[in-house]
Amino acid sequence: MYRSCPLCEATCGVAIEIEGDRVLSVRGDDADPFSKGYICPKGTALADLHHDPDRLTTPLVRDGAMWKKVGWDEAFDLVAQKLVGIRKAYGKDAVAVYQGNPTAHNLGLLTYGQLLMRTLGTKNAYSATSMDQLPHMLAALLMFGNQLLMPVPDIERTDLFVCLGANPLASNGSIMTAPDVKSRLKAIRDRGGKVIVLDPRRTETAEKADQHHFIRPGTDAALLLAMVHVLFAEKLVRGRLAVTGLSELEAAATAWTPERAAPITGIAADEIRGLARALATTPRAVLYGRIGVCTQEFGGLAAWLCYAVNALTGHLDEPGGLMFTTPAVDPLPLAAMLGFDGGFARWKSRVSGKPEFGGELPISALAEEIETAGNGEDKVQIRALLTSAGNPVLSSPGGPRLEEALKTLDFMVSIDPYLNETTRLAHVILPPTSPLERSHYDLALNAFAVRNVAKYAPPTFERSPEARHDWEICLALWTRIGVPSKLGAGSKLVHRLLGKLGPEAILDLALRTGPHGFGRGGMSLGKLRKSPHGIDLGPLEPRLPARLGHADKHVHLAPAEYLADLVRLERKHASPPNGNLVLIGRRHLRSNNSWMHNSERLVKGPPRCTLLIHPDDAAARGLSEGGAAKVSTRKGAIELPVEISDEMMKGVVSVPHGWGHNRSGTRLRVAEANPGVSVNDIVDPALIDELSGTSVLTGLAVTVAKA
Ligand code: SF4
């Protein structure tokens, strides 16, 4: 059986050998045209996930301190009755929703899940976006006219890959779907090209690069402005695209000389000049910025400037540069139909005035919106929460506060296969089928793939009659709650039709009407079924200006929102850095956020939830390898083992996130035996990029001492 691995963004093809209802082996699918046999260690753990004895298979309803198994209809009726009652009593904003990261890998949640979550019509919609890629989406909206128009590096044809705040060797690419990044980066060097990494840690990617520069966390915007300065000062600006805002961007960077940026960033002025010149003079080059760029105090500015530097150097929408994909399913019309509407700051959160983006509020607002009493029809307190595929108690800043807030809800329901640190606080848990029991198509991730590809897989195992897919759960709730859809005002006919269709029919329609549909060789679900290893649809192609969402069909280089935010950057850097130790995160190839820790094969070996610290910083604090350190902020302290390494920049320490499986009431036996600590317990949720609302997870001031 062949399918794509749904555990990270790389979408590797896997070949699964089964016998009866058991998985015998999972290996890379050599015939997959995109991943060509590559899988990482997580891929083989698909079997662990499927056979995990801790995975829930029947709905659970809280009964005091115990959980009671109930039938699906009873569970659906109870959830609908509670949610409808709360909506009626307090208004639709009283019901909040939270969608976790695995949603992006799940055909059912990307179709029927959105119908449910988006059409509930609540302003209290939250997701992992505001702890992740929101600044890129904001830049896509403001510069290209649609929040989903995020360009990806054409890594297959570039000759210079400059990687800022990203570690694709551990993440396998993010907003850059690229299985086996290691080989792809090696190929750049083999063809005479260069890989340059800028990161506060000498990461796995940096180890394989031609150059690595340490950069002080949170200073990417200063570096990028200095590069923009060099491009204008040395008349290196080029490109075929029609743009607006060129002179405004030049003016914005005038004061940001490399000499000014050098002491802020820790990168020498000559190096900054060299980077800008190399990008401008290499015919096929790209600057790729990712999670470290987004999750910092100036994440909005930094993400904008990443795209702007590519545009100024003529590498936007050009082979080898930063390009837009042509996936078999065009996500733009589909997303619009399912309720995603692009927009920014159309409203603010009730309690602290954080900006809305794409119909969602920043996750940092969730706890306060639950805690704070409402005062009127438009100022509604959250009374109920629906979570899906997420564990915000571990994955979002201020976990302990959110945990306490969740306990006060009138009602909480979680669509999730695990009793985890968040779902244990729910009143009802609705567990969906395992990834191997459902069909798979990468609706979202193909839109960010470095080649245009398409692949569909039917379920490896048929679901039992007692089980329910995510989409069936969402449809059952949607139907019972009776919320309207953009497809037709909530009529019974639409509900019945959607019930009969299922995600495959929606997929088939989207394939047939997509860019590779009727007119160009007839892409359809039937065609994909006949190609179980997937279909290669060719390299990325220039898509601008046609693809731009702006009516003027120009790339907007200097949106007013960014120019206004530059004042905040100036203020920040008016005085020199204070010399505090600062914190960054990190990712391991065997882990993905909070949900891969219940597989023995992925957590075995030395502990991975450690404090990484430079030898000089360790010595100054009397820390020894393997000893315990206490890391503190004004929000609290965590203790964890010390790992000393000169891979860290001096003055910077690193703790991975997603750990902290030591809360009572979970059912994750392997994770509980390897708990680690949650770094989010000490991250202040009030710290956000004030422009975009994204949580600040990079460059946080911490105190480190011997525990
Ligand atoms: S790299 Fe990602 S998609 Fe590929 S096998 Fe590993 S977890 Fe799965």
> β-strand 322-323 against 194-198: which pairing, if any?
unpaired
Confidence of residue 487 (pLDDT cuts 50, 70, 90): low
311 has which bridge partners?
none
Distance from residue 110's CA to the centre of ligand 1 (Å) = 20
Closest Cα to atom 4, ligand 1: which residue? 12
Which long-range contacts link 26-29 to residues 24+ away (Cβ below 8 Å)? 29/2, 29/533
- pLDDT digits over 532-549, tens only? 999 999 999 999 999 999
- pLDDT digits over 58-109, tens only? 999 999 889 999 999 999 999 999 999 999 999 999 999 999 999 999 999 9
Distance from residue 14's CA to the centre of ligand 1 (Å) = 9
Residue 40 CA, closest ligand 1 atom number:
6
Distance from residue 11's CA to the centre of ligand 1 (Å) = 6
pLDDT at 555 over 90: yes
- The SS3 of residue 100 is coil
- pLDDT digits over 449-477, tens only? 999 999 999 999 999 999 999 999 999 99
Q: How far apart are CA 162 and CA 41, in angstroms?
A: 27
Ligand 1 pocket check for 361: Cβ under 6 Å: no
What token pair was written down for 451?
A: 């080649």
244 has which bridge partners?
556
Q: How far apart are CA 116 and CA 73, in angstroms?
A: 17
Q: How far apart are CA 221 and CA 275, in angstroms?
A: 15
Of 495 and 659, the structure prediction assigns the larger pLDDT to 659
Distance from residue 99's CA to the centre of ligand 1 (Å) = 21
Report the share of the chain in percent with pLDDT over 90.
Answer: 90
CA proximity to 365, closest of 377, 373, 356? 356
Ligand 1 pocket check for 179: Cβ under 6 Å: yes
Query: How high is the pLDDT of residue 519?
Result: 66
CA proximity to 286, closest of 296, 295, 275, 272? 275
> β-strand 652-654 against 125-127: which pairing, if any?
unpaired
Ligand 1 pocket check for 5: Cβ under 6 Å: yes
Q: How far apart are CA 383 and CA 370, in angstroms?
A: 7
Ligand 1 pocket check for 43: Cβ under 6 Å: yes
18 has which bridge partners?
23
Confidence of residue 688 (pLDDT cuts 50, 70, 90): very high
Query: Hunting for tokens 């402005």 — which residue is that?
Result: 225
- pLDDT digits over 358-388, tens only? 999 999 999 999 999 987 666 899 999 999 9
Half-sphere exposure of 330 (CA within 13 A, CB side): 13
Top mutation candidate among 2, 11, 12, 34 for ligand 1, by most atoms within 8 Å of CB: 12
Averaged pLDDT for residues 40-44 = 93
* CA 275, chain centre distance (Å): 27
Query: How high is the pLDDT of residue 340?
Result: 76
User: What are phi and psi for residue 60, nearest 5 degrees?
Assistant: -120, 140
CA proximity to 208, closest of 187, 225, 184, 186? 186
Radius of gyration in angstroms for the set of CA atoms belonging to the chain, rounded to a whole number: 24
Residue 8 CA, closest ligand 1 atom number:
2
Query: How high is the pLDDT of residue 493?
Result: 66
Report the share of the chain in percent with pLDDT over 70.
Answer: 97
Q: How far apart are CA 262 and CA 329, in angstroms?
A: 44
Top mutation candidate among 39, 174, 177 for ligand 1, by most atoms within 8 Å of CB: 39
CA proximity to 97, closest of 107, 87, 88? 87
Ligand 1 pocket check for 169: Cβ under 6 Å: no
Distance from residue 189's CA to the centre of ligand 1 (Å) = 23
Task: Point out the least confidently predicted range of 1-15, 292-306, 470-484, 671-685.
Answer: 470-484
Query: How high is the pLDDT of residue 482?
Result: 82
> β-strand 243-244 against 555-556: which pairing, if any?
parallel
Half-sphere exposure of 613 (CA within 13 A, CB side): 30
**Total Cβ atoms within 10 A of residue 22:** 11
Mean pLDDT of the chain: 95
The b-or-e profile of 665-679 (16+ CB within 10 A means b, else e) is ebbbebbbebbbbbb
pLDDT at 521 over 90: no
Query: How high is the pLDDT of residue 489?
Result: 46
Averaged pLDDT for residues 642-653 = 98
Question: Can you state the angle between helices 246-253 and 220-233, rounded to 10 degrees?
Answer: 110
Query: How high is the pLDDT of residue 488?
Result: 52
Query: How high is the pLDDT of residue 580?
Result: 86
- pLDDT digits over 608-627, tens only? 999 999 999 999 999 999 99
The b-or-e profile of 432-455 (16+ CB within 10 A means b, else e) is bbbbbbbbbbbbbbbbbbbbbbbb
Top mutation candidate among 3, 7, 29 for ligand 1, by most atoms within 8 Å of CB: 7
Question: Can you state the angle between helices 492-512 and 470-481, rounded to 10 degrees?
Answer: 140
Residue 43 CA, closest ligand 1 atom number:
5
Averaged pLDDT for residues 155-164 = 98
What token pair was written down for 269?
A: 């002025």
> β-strand 440-441 against 428-430: which pairing, if any?
unpaired
**Structural domains present in the chain:** 2-51 (3.30.200.210), 60-132+329-448+456-533 (3.40.50.740), 134-326+551-567 (3.40.228.10), 576-706 (2.40.40.20)
Query: How high is the pLDDT of residue 575?
Result: 83
Query: Hunting for tokens 């009802």 — which residue is that?
Result: 428
The dihedral of CA 111, 591, 641, 209: what is its sign? negative
Q: Is 371 exposed, middle or buried (0-12, 13-18, 19+ CB in 10 A)?
A: middle
Top mutation candidate among 4, 5, 36 for ligand 1, by most atoms within 8 Å of CB: 5
The dihedral of CA 417, 421, 422, 424: what is its sign? positive
Ligand 1 pocket check for 102: Cβ under 6 Å: no
Residue 74 neighbours by CB under 8 Å, 6+ apart? 59, 61
Residue 14 CA, closest ligand 1 atom number:
5
Ligand 1 pocket check for 135: Cβ under 6 Å: no
Instruction: Name the pTM for this structure.
Output: 0.96
